[in-house]
Every structure is written in structure tokens, then in C-alpha cells.
């Protein structure tokens, strides 16, 4: 019983440390003990409502909306990342899915496509399909998943100057996805986030790197637009 309580505390500590919106499987806690014990721990937590079971073998610590006073839908990219960790795949989000995640597509997606070095496979999550396609990668070696999404979104927009609205959306996405705090409603990116992103994306295609610098270094005051 004491071991069970100790394991529960360790698992909860990791989940809370990752923050709301994080998705995971028992594989993410394999360093804590036997997978069967971790599986039972996660099942108990799901029954209590501490975490949410989103599909067989996969859970999340749901993000909560104070405005709507309810849990939000699972984060699709977090689901994909959790599946990739569970099965040991390397994945890369496709361009159209990236546009949806950064808020630059008005279409309601029914499918999110990820390139993968694992087998081609699809998972149904409510009305949304998460698909992994075995294929070659175009951009590799990024440390932060939000930078991967940024790169793929810019690549999909094409080799051109970004519009004011696109800059605004991409800066907003970066602040939210990196969980970086800023003062007030200002979209000035903190220097730590700028430095981290520049270093992480330094080896991507040159025109993509140029547009990333445009996102990071142009000020929100000079690019200010009205919310639509």
C-alpha cells in the first residue's frame, strides 16, 4: 500500500509539473517502476477525474477554461507527441496541420497529418483523425516541438514576406505554446524565447530562417493590428 501511494505521488508530481494540456501514456513513467503498476495508477487517476482517458492507453491532464467553466478538448499535437514517445517514433507535423495549430487556417480540421519513421497508422479522437504517414522528413533536429510547428507553418505559407496578420498570429502562438509570460497585452517576445528559437532553428532552410527572424525581431508595436 505504501509503495502504491508513493508511486501515485510521483506520477501526479510529474503530471502537474508538465502542466495542463499534457498528454501521456504509461511509457512516460516507466522509470518509476513496473508498467503494470503504472497502468493501474493511471486507471485509478482517470476514475477519480484527476486525469482524462482520451483513447486506449493514452491520457491527458486536460486544459481548463475559466470562461467556459469546463475542460477543453485534448491538444492534438500533445496526443501525437505522446503516441510518438509511446512507440518510439520520430514524427514531424505536416504543413496544413501546422497552419491550424498556429491559427492561420480558418478551416476546421478533421485530420491532422504527421510524417513518421514508424508505420503508417491512424487514430480516431472524436471527430478528428490523427494520421501518421511513413515518409521522409524535410526539417529535422529541432529541440522544441513548438518551433517545429513554427517552421512547418512558415514553410507552408511559402517563400515570401509574411503579412502583418501572419506575424501577429505566429507571435501569439509562440508565446502561448512556449508558455512564456509577457507584460500586459503586449506581444513583445522575451529575449530568452528569441534566443532559444534562433538557436533551435539556425540550420533550417535559409528563407525559412529569414522569416523566423522576422517573426522574432519585428516589434508588436510596429506590426500592431486589431483583433478580428
Average pLDDT rounded to a whole number, residues 105-132: 89
Coil, helix or strand for 27?
A: helix
Polymer length of the chain? 228
On average, the pLDDT of the chain sits at 88
Coil, helix or strand for 62?
A: coil
Query: CA–CA separation, 139 vs 201, rounded Å?
Result: 10
Apex 156 CA angle, 129 and 169, nearest 5 = 85
User: Cβ distance 161 to 215 under 8 Å?
Assistant: no
- Distance of alpha carbon 169 from its chain centroid, rounded? 16
Is the whole-model pTM more than 0.85? no
Average pLDDT rounded to a whole number, residues 196-223: 85
Q: Give long-range contacts, CB 8 A cutoff, 24+ apart: 116-123.
A: 116/84, 116/89, 116/90, 116/91, 116/92, 117/89, 117/90, 117/91, 118/84, 118/87, 118/88, 118/89, 118/90, 118/91, 123/55, 123/79, 123/83
Q: Is the pLDDT of residue 34 over 90?
A: yes
Pairing verdict, β 70-71 and 91-93:
unpaired
pLDDT of 139 reads 57
Q: Is the pLDDT of residue 109 over 60?
A: yes
Kindly report, residue by residue over 38-69, the tens digit of the pLDDT: 999 999 999 999 999 999 999 999 999 999 99
Report the chain's terminal Cα–Cα distance, integer Å: 55
pLDDT-based confidence at 222, cuts 50/70/90? very low
Closest to 179 measured CA to CA, from 41, 40, 75: 75
Query: CA–CA separation, 184 vs 106, rounded Å?
Result: 27
User: Cβ distance 114 to 130 under 8 Å?
Assistant: yes
Closest to 9 measured CA to CA, from 35, 36, 44: 44
pLDDT of 2 reads 60
Amino acid at each position: 500500500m505504501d509503495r502504491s501511494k508513493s508511486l501515485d505521488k510521483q506520477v501526479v508530481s510529474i503530471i502537474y509539473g508538465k502542466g495542463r494540456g499534457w498528454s501521456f501514456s504509461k511509457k512516460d513513467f516507466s522509470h518509476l517502476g513496473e508498467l503494470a503498476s503504472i497502468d493501474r495508477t493511471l486507471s485509478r487517476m482517470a476514475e477519480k477525474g484527476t486525469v482524462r482517458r482520451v483513447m486506449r492507453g493514452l491520457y491527458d491532464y486536460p486544459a481548463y477554461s475559466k470562461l467556459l467553466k469546463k475542460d477543453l478538448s485534448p491538444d492534438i499535437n500533445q496526443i501525437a507527441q505522446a503516441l510518438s514517445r509511446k512507440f518510439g517514433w520520430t514524427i514531424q507535423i505536416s504543413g496544413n496541420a501546422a497552419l491550424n495549430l498556429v491559427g492561420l487556417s480558418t478551416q476546421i480540421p478533421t485530420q491532422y497529418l504527421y510524417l513518421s519513421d514508424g508505420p503508417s497508422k491512424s487514430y480516431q479522437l472524436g471527430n478528428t483523425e490523427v494520421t501518421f504517414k511513413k515518409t521522409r522528413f524535410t526539417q529535422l533536429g529541432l529541440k522544441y516541438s513548438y518551433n517545429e510547428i513554427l517552421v512547418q507553418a512558415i514553410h507552408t505559407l511559402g517563400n515570401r514576406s509574411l503579412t502583418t496578420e501572419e506575424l501577429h498570429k505566429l507571435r501569439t502562438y509562440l508565446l502561448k505554446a512556449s508558455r512564456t509570460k509577457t507584460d500586459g497585452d503586449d506581444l513583445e517576445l522575451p529575449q530568452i524565447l528569441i534566443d532559444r528559437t534562433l538557436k533551435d532553428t539556425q540550420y533550417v532552410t535559409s528563407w525559412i530562417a529569414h522569416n523566423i527572424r522576422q517573426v522574432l525581431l519585428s516589434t508588436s508595436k510596429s506590426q500592431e493590428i486589431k483583433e478580428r
